[in-house]
Amino acid sequence: MLMEVRQAILPLALRRNVRRWDDLERASLLIESLARHWRDDAPLELLVVAPRRDVGVLGSGLPRFANIDLSIRSESDFFPLLSGFYLMQGWHRQQIIKLHVPATLGFGGYLTLDSDVCCVGDFDAMTFVTDGRTLSQWEPKSRHDWWRQTAEVVGAPHDPGDRGLTVTPNILHGVLAAQALEHFRTGMMNPMMKLTGWLIRRVGSIPWTEYSLYTCVAELKGNLFDYHVPWGPSNDAPLLSYSHSIWHPSQYDRLSLYTSSSRPDAPFVVLQSSTGVSLALVKAAIERLAAGRGAN
């Protein structure tokens, strides 16, 4: 039974160009925002998993706070040299990290993060827990074709009218993360090799995401709702503020909503760097929220 969520995981790989410092600053902004809004007596345990080449830079460059227990580990601590993990592209590597590492370390409930996420509202270890299960973020399976493809990969039925766990940020459980990967172990074929094979065979498409694997396997096993409260109108967006998030350049004007009189309606936002949104503008928007909060 899930009693609390006080662990979080952040996969982070710095780009090999001038924008690597932008990656570092965005991750730093995320950690600062978590420290500002974490309201628990014990620290939030934040695990950053990065390529070995980046561990030193992150260790010296990421900020430290008393209420954030920050650990930085190398991918090689969890994936052997000949693992199929290293044949995956960066996006799918991040997905596998969010499942494999928490499962390996025996996490209970945990928060998944990317460096494009910011925390804009207070939360603690019990904010997303009710009656021993987690309040997670859901989406209609009709929204993305990866739900159909994942069902095929998993060997599960697909109903586009159903809902599954949506993309980062979200809350998962280590037991179901381990279950999702173990489902793909057959004989001498380990999960990384099998999932890499699916990626190679489905070039040009997205055959699975970490959340679709996690959801579909748990549905097949019949234990998804042992750990998660089913979607309902009353818990439609417990983590993410859609009104204040930016996924496309046409949504830049949403930064003007970051005021004390128009605060996000959930504790997290996504401000995707791939849209080209300026980090300086993002910082200014977050600071406006912080200033307005202090004035209340």
Preceding peptide of 207 cis, ω within 30°: no
Q: How far apart are CA 214 and CA 123, in angstroms?
A: 24
- Within 8 A by CB and 6+ apart from 253, the residues are none
Q: How far apart are CA 186 and CA 147, in angstroms?
A: 22
Q: Helix count (H) and strand count (E) of the chain? A: 9, 11
The upper half-sphere exposure of residue 271, i.e. CA atoms within 13 Å in the direction of its Cβ, equals 27
Tokens of 258: 């970051």
Report the pLDDT value the prediction gives residue 172, as an integer from 0 to 100: 97
Q: For 36-82, what is each residue's pLDDT tens digit?
A: 999 999 999 999 999 999 999 999 999 999 999 999 999 999 999 88
Report the pLDDT value the prediction gives residue 203, as an integer from 0 to 100: 66
Amino acid at 109: G
pTM for this entry: 0.94
Q: How far apart are CA 158 and CA 154, in angstroms?
A: 10
Which domains are seen in the chain, by residue range?
5-238 (3.90.550)
Candidates 38, 230, 241; CA nearest to 131 is 230
